[in-house]
Amino acid sequence: MEIPPYDTLVTLLEHVDAFAVVEHLQALGDGEEVSAAYDQLLRDAYWEHKDLRMVMLLGTAGIYFNFVQAKVTTDDAARMKFKSAAKRLAYNIGSFSWPGWAEQGITITESDRVRGLEAARLNMRLALELQVPFDKIEAAAWLMGAQLLAAGQVEEALFQFRYAVPEEEHKDYGLFLGYVLLAEKLLGVTGAKEKYELHLGKLREGGTEEGKFAEGQLETARGVFERK
C-alpha cells in the first residue's frame, strides 16, 4: 500500500471532517498496512509538519484501529503485533504532547496535555500486558512521570521517575537520574537544588555526547516547569 500524501489528509480534515481522514486511511489496504500507515503518518505529522492536531487524530484513530484488529484476528502473533502497534502510537502521543521538550513549532493545549497523560497510562498498561523488556517498562514509567509533571502532580511524577532510572552503567543513566533530581528540586526537597546543579556539572564535565544531550534536555525541562 502506498501511504497517501499528507496534504490529502489535511484537505479532508479541513474541508470534510476528521472522520473522512480515518475512512480514507482504513480503505487503503489490509490491517497491517493500515496500521503501518497510521504509525508513519503520525510521526510525519509531528516531525515534518509540526501538526499536533493531526497527531492526536491519527494516534487516537490508529489505537482504536489496532485494538479492533487485535480483537478480530485469530492469530496470536498478529494479535501481539497490533497491540504493540497501539502501544507505540500511545507512547508517541504521550511524548509528542509533553511540554517539557519545548519543541519549536509545537503548541500544546490543555486538552492535548490531558490526552497525553491518558496515552502515557495506556502505554504503561500495554507494556505490562505485552510483557515487554524491562527497559521498555522503564521508558513507560518515565513517560508517566513526564506527563504527571506537566499535570502538576510532581510527587507522583517523582515516584515514576525513580522507577525509570536504569542501572548506573546504562548510557542514559545520567539523563533519567536527572529527572529524579529535577522533580525533587521542583518539590523543594532539602538539598535538591545543590544535587541537581552538581549532577549537571558532572554531565558537562564528562565530555560525552550522552552527557551533553542529557544536560540540554534537563535544562530545557527545568526552564519549562520552573515557570509554571
Q: Give the whole-angstrom CA distance, residue 33 versus residue 64.
A: 15
Q: What is the DSSP letter of 100?
A: G
SS3 97: coil
The conformational region for residue 164 under phi > 0 = left, psi -120 to 50 = alpha, else beta, is alpha
Q: What is the DSSP letter of 85?
A: H
The answer to whether the beta carbons of residues 73 and 82 sit under 8 Å apart is yes
Closest residue by Cα to residue 55 from 21, 79, 24, 28: 21
Give dist(CA 165, CA 119) in Å, integer.
21
Q: What radius of gyration do the chain's Cα atoms show?
A: 19
| pTM exceeding the 0.85 threshold for the entire prediction | yes
Q: Which segments of 131-191 does DSSP mark as H helices, in order?
A: 134-150, 154-164, 173-187
Query: What's the rounded Cα separation, in Å, for the pair 179 and 78?
Result: 36
| 166-214 per-position pLDDT tens digit | 999 999 999 999 999 999 999 999 999 999 999 999 999 887 889 999 9
pLDDT score recorded for residue 228: 61
Cα separation, 134 vs 114, in Å, equals 26
pLDDT at position 207, please?
79
- In a 13 Å sphere around the CA of 169, the CA atoms on its Cβ side amount to 0
Q: Which grid cell is 110? A: 490543555
**CA dihedral sign, ordered 181, 187, 190, 194:** positive
Backbone angles phi, psi at 97, to 5 degrees: -100, 15
Q: Is the separation of the CB atoms in 132 and 107 below 8 Å?
A: no
* pLDDT recorded at residue 2: 83
Angle made by CA atoms 107, 62, 149, in degrees to the nearest 5: 40
- The total number of residues shown for the chain amounts to 228
pLDDT, one tens digit for every residue, the chain (228 residues): 788 999 999 999 999 999 999 999 999 899 999 999 999 999 999 999 999 999 999 999 999 999 999 999 999 999 999 999 999 999 999 999 999 999 999 999 999 999 999 999 999 999 999 999 999 999 999 999 999 999 999 999 999 999 999 999 999 999 999 999 999 999 999 999 999 999 999 999 887 889 999 999 999 999 999 976
Chain-centroid distance, C-alpha 148:
12
Q: For residue 170, what is the DSSP state? A: S
